[in-house]
Structure 1
């Protein structure tokens, strides 16, 4: 089972490695990688999700309890990380927040979408769409509230919630999901030229997004503070998948939903955590380390975790 999962995931991680090698040898520049990443996030991945979600009426209705399992694990592991950061790593409150977020904020879009489709098929789409549509909003809101609570004894939680909701509504990923679902409900079909254009762009989403991830990784270097990085890696690649699996079983999700939730929990640290560290001026080096190391390890840990959990 491990070999089967590994061989399915390996080509995707090879594309990441290819992007890394091309950037390291200056065949492509960081600016090109950033442009590809922006293009994948704002154009081709939303179009891919639009195409997939337009088939939603043909698929089983999503079980929204998968969101309870996945985001429940995020809150639990975040609390564990926050405690470890304070008690054992002696981080300040901002550092504790970023450390906790690194343990739960996955690279769901650039890596999660291609992996889920390759390993699980489009039948998993209703389940993963629930997580994709809420992930950015909930994680950024959680981080912002935690930072404000640490800095300000009377934070404006309502203002933070409104700001997070506004950002979610304008998120291209959410727009692609919503428009695709609405279009699917109409039972209409696109004109042939438009459908062909959608197909061409959607088919390019996975390789472009993954190549951009590889290029982007060259911006980060292994530095000191490997103790913190190692703790993040254990939380992200080990503890969170385990907590998700336990919650899935407690809630009573079926096998397909459990696999989808665990797969997304197995993913490496997302670049949003590094953006958070820059936004709040803390843990930049440690977060960059975690992003690089967890992405490199994920090619082995993702199929290994699914196999250990008996999820195939």
Structure 2
């Protein structure tokens, strides 16, 4: 019971505060959008830059950790995609968006603060190892899958579709922050020493990232009204909150992950889909209501599911 109040509730209180303030019109929709642009385009990329720059690449990029997490993620995608096509009769493009909502965990805005509050700041190394690949890998996969779906029968070459997907991924601020941090990590290992004032500025912006993003997430969630498609939304929530972490937990145990890595992998897998699931749907104008409702409903349900996974984990 203590984990619910000491680990989970503080994070969701910040989200809830943002939700209430936006609901009561104490913070305008334009203000929420501006805060989220600051968080997603500047503060969070700086946080990722800092984390990647200081990550021990040899120690934290454990293939077993990545296999455990991403096997669960892709299994959830194909389960959601197949259910959308075969069970609910959705269009091919809708099915890709629904699969993406099952695939993309809110690894940064929820996964990092939950893990940090549960096990301490040093326990998030595995989280950031997952995050280093999360946006680049999953966006590349999602965009490529969608582009091939749209191009089916149109005669567009596979190389052109893949290049279009790659360009879309490398231009995103989160990926730029990750790649810049990895480059700084390699340069630092080669002997480069940056002035202390540089890292002081990085620390100040990075410290604002999660509180600003969580508060803004609350304001964004106000716009997502759960309407219709209840069965589809239920499948997405089940894939995100149950299937993905269960597969990750099972594989992690089988592959012999150490306790810290298992915690990072399972808790990250147990997070609700992030706003990126809705942004992906908006990008293609497909299954937007399902994606928006899934983000809202799964974020609320994740308070309980995270509590359960914290009790299961060693």
Of the structure 1 ranges 129-138 and 113-122, higher mean CA displacement relative to structure 2 is found in 113-122
Deviation track 1:32-54 (CA, whole Å, cap 9, x = no partner) reads 11221121122222322333344
Residue 115 of structure 2 contacts residue 264 of structure 2 at CA under 8 Å; is this kept in 1? yes
- Listed as ranges, the gaps of 5+ residues in structure 2 are none
Are the equivalent residues in 1 in contact too, given 2:148–2:161 (CA < 8 A)? Answer: no
Is contact 1:106–1:264 with CA below 8 Å preserved after alignment?
Answer: yes
Q: What is the CA–CA distance in structure 2 between the aligned matches of 1:121 and 1:161, rounded to whole Å?
A: 40
Retained in 2: the 8 A contact 1:266–1:301? Answer: yes
* Alpha-carbon contact 1:52-1:180 (below 8 Å) kept: no
CA apart distance, 1:13: 0.9
Q: Per the alignment, in what secondary structure is the counterpart of residue 103 of structure 2? A: coil
Query: In 2, are the aligned partners of 1:102 and 1:273 still within 8 Å (CA)?
Result: yes
CA contact (8 A) 2:140 2:169 kept: no
Task: Specify the alignment match of 2:65 in structure 1.
Answer: 66
TM-superposed CA distance for 1:19, in Å, is 0.3
TM-score (ref. length: structure 2)? 0.88
Counterparts of 1:221 and 1:89 in 2: how far apart (Å)? 21
Match of 1:274 among 256, 274, 278: 278
Do the aligned partners of 1:145 and 1:155 also contact (CA within 8 Å) in 2?
no
- Quote how far apart the aligned CAs of 1:268 are: 0.8
5+ residue gaps in structure 1? none
2:250 pairs with 1:246? yes
Q: What are the Cα deviations for residues 196-228 of structure 1, in whole angstroms up to 9, with x where unaligned? A: 322222222221110010011112112122121
Alignment of 1:118-267 (within 5 A): 118-151=117-150, 152-153=152-153, 156-170=157-171, 171-182=175-186, 184-185=188-189, 190-267=194-271
TM-score, length basis structure 1: 0.88
- Which segment is superposed worse, 62-71 or 285-294? 62-71
1:125 deviation in Å? 4.0
Aligned pairs, how many? 309
